[in-house]
Amino acid sequence: MSVPLLLAAHAVVAVTVLAPLLARAAWVERAPRLALVLWQVLTASAVTAVVLAGLAVAVPVIPLTTDVAELLRMCLMMLRDAYATPGGALASTTGLVIAVVVAGRCAYGMGAEWARARRERRHHLRILAMVGTGDERLGATILDHGATAAYCLPGKGGHVVLTSAALAALDEAGLQAVLSHERAHLRGRHHLLVALTRGIERAFPFVGAFASARSQTAALVELAADDAAASATDRLTVAGALLALARGGSPVRSPAPTAVLAAAGSADGRRVRRLIDGRAGLEPRWLVLGSAAAVVVAVLPVAVAVVPMMAMAVTDCCLVL
């Protein structure tokens, strides 16, 4: 039972210790892309550890043999022995149920989120086809609307949308910064990262760490896109563009659907201050250390489950897993 316990401990530490530490870390604003990777890895690692722990409880250990018939016979004997006693049957069944339920909830949450976002994008694309105007110079669709909004619709080809109010509020430099911001979202496929964390939160709404992953990911993709736009223009230009969009706001409801990534949105003040401060990114050694931590967190659950199997193989045993 040491493998299931280690996997369960990994999942608990991930959601109760590592996730809160990452949520409170100040350095994430200096390296949003690294923080994005860590949130995705942490979320996936916690779920994977629980599924593997359930499978490790449900599946017995059998001796190794090159005789297929003998191997099958021993498999059946070990499975029969494992389920022969009430305690063994209960533990194995419980482990299998946990693995299936967790994997099923993940599939449900991500599938439902993907379907919702897809429906919303298709609906909005139909609206744009009727009332939007393509601008070849900008490579964007212009929507006549009184709210200042700039956003992108991910999917095949990708679409950048600007309202007429946003065009009026932005100067040429600010307009190019906003376009660079939205194209960075499309290039980085940020909608997939947001959808993953939304799906996991939908599957397990009672786990606070997954809610943090969703909110932090939504904020971090904006910081990453801001950095990409600042590389194409400069940080003060991007900050000015965000302020122009915020100042041009009106009581009119924004036309951007919830399934898109918009240049202006929540936490604009934090983003503007970050751009104006112009703090340097993390030193290379810290980026390397953070990347190494991401690899360790991602590989650890699989290693805990696989290494004992390899050790058994060396000693003429194997795990059916």
The H-or-E segment that residue 143 falls in is strand 140-143
Question: Residue 24: which pLDDT band, with cuts at 50, 70 and 90?
Answer: very high
Tell whether the model's pLDDT for residue 316 goes beyond 60.
Answer: no
CA–CA dist 291, 78 (Å, integer): 41
Q: Greatest CA separation found in the chain?
A: 78
pTM: 0.83
Q: Which of 209, 185, 190 is nearest to 44 (CA)?
A: 209
The H-or-E segment that residue 319 falls in is strand 317-319
Compute the average pLDDT of residues 140-166. 86
Radius of gyration of the chain, Cα coordinates, nearest whole angstrom: 25
* pLDDT value of residue 256: 61
Q: To which residue do tokens 């099923």 refer? A: 104
Compute the average pLDDT of residues 152-181. 88
Q: Tokens in use for 191?
A: 């909608």
Compute the average pLDDT of residues 61-68. 51
Give the 3-state secondary structure of residue 146.
coil
What average pLDDT is seen over the chain?
83
Q: Which of 186, 176, 166 is nearest to 233 (CA)?
A: 176
CB neighbours of 114 closer than 8 A, spacing ≥ 6?
195, 199
Question: Residue 14: which pLDDT band, with cuts at 50, 70 and 90?
Answer: very high
Q: How confident is the model over 234-266, as pLDDT tens digits?
A: 899 999 999 888 876 554 555 666 656 666 655
Q: Tokens in use for 178?
A: 């906003």
